[in-house]
Amino acid sequence: MKLSGFALALLLASSVTVEADTLLVDAVGEAPPNSVQGVPRPVRGARMGEVTTGYGEPTGVMDAVGDPPITRWVYPDYTVYFEYDRVIDVVVHR
């Protein structure tokens, strides 16, 4: 029995096993709330002094970089980003 090129390709294609991995993605942008149930952390707009008063001294301080200067303060559960002396973002560690 002789198969045409198309029939042979169809036969081979139907016998190929296809596998795929499943990618699970955490909900992006959903950080725990500032509450007793979540991770209490500084709010946007707070000054450096207010952060120190309310949350204590950071475990690490990264020098200001860029223009405007962005400074990072690292705490055990989150990192605080400052522009000049104001909080612009807080990222909770995984």
pLDDT at 29: 55
pLDDT at 9: 64
The model's pTM: 0.63
What is the residue extent of each domain of the chain?
A: 5-92
66: left (phi over 0), alpha (psi -120 to 50) or beta: left
d(CA 53, CA 73): 14
d(CA 51, CA 73): 10
Sort 44 into a burial class: Cβ within 10 Å, 0-12 / 13-18 / 19+: exposed
pLDDT at 84: 97
pLDDT at 69: 97
pLDDT at 18: 58
Walking along the chain (94 residues) 10 residues at a time, the average pLDDT comes out as: 60 60 58 66 95 97 96 96 96 86
pLDDT at 10: 60
